[in-house]
Amino acid sequence: MSKSARPSTFVGFSALSNRVFVRPGETQTGIDPNPEHPRTVVIYGWGDAPPRHISKFTDVYRQLYPNAKQVAVLSPIYKGFIDHVTQRTKDMLPVIHEVFPNDTSGGSVLFHVMSNSGTINYSATLNAYKETYNRPMPHVLTVYDSTPGTPYLTWDNLKRFSHAMAIGLASRLPWPFIVTQVLCAWFFCMIHVFDYLAGRESAPKFSHRIFTDEQ
């Protein structure tokens, strides 16, 4: 589906998919773009962050780099943990096609990665680029914001993950917040057990491995 035909839930951006959005850089008459500025800024939101919150970051980057194209990626928590790596990689292909339309595209790209859920999508983007062009993805600067965390499901992580996921669900459910958090914790435990029984590398472990792989 074309950009113009796909409705956007991200104000000011056009939708490349239901999770990836883009807006072009500003054209300033009589002013050449600063060659030291990135040509594109890519922002990976934290888990379940709505567009209105991510836009606070995109607006600041627009002030810093007005000519830069912006790509924003939403990070639903459940998708990051349920989807197989093949699906996660496929979901990030719109980022590759928009930012690196060919393997000679320049690397003056700034990535801002937020929290563990943002890292899952960022790592899937690294994987998508390598599968597309058979080499590491070029970029000159990455901001790692509250990431990377531990890839293991510890008690502290379980509390943080379940709390973050419950925040997005609680307003739509009739019972107390703690009940929602317990159900979310149960969800993470079941995913952990499934990954173990299926012999599948968990999303956090895969992302941590790709994140730290220099090749």
DSSP string, 131-186: HHHSSPPP-SEEEEES----SS--HHHHHHHHHHHHHHHHTTSSS-HHHHHHHHHH
**In the chain, which stretches have pLDDT less than 70?**
1-7, 214-215
Task: Say what the pLDDT of residue 72 is.
Answer: 98
Give bridge partners of residue 114 from the DSSP assignment.
145
Task: Say what the pLDDT of residue 20 is.
Answer: 98
Task: Say what the pLDDT of residue 125 is.
Answer: 96
Residue with token string 């790596």: 85
Alpha-carbon gap, residue 131 to 185, rounded angstroms: 33
Alpha-carbon gap, residue 16 to 4, rounded angstroms: 9
Task: Say what the pLDDT of residue 97 is.
Answer: 96
Task: Say what the pLDDT of residue 52 is.
Answer: 94
Task: Say what the pLDDT of residue 215 is.
Answer: 57
Task: Say what the pLDDT of residue 160 is.
Answer: 85
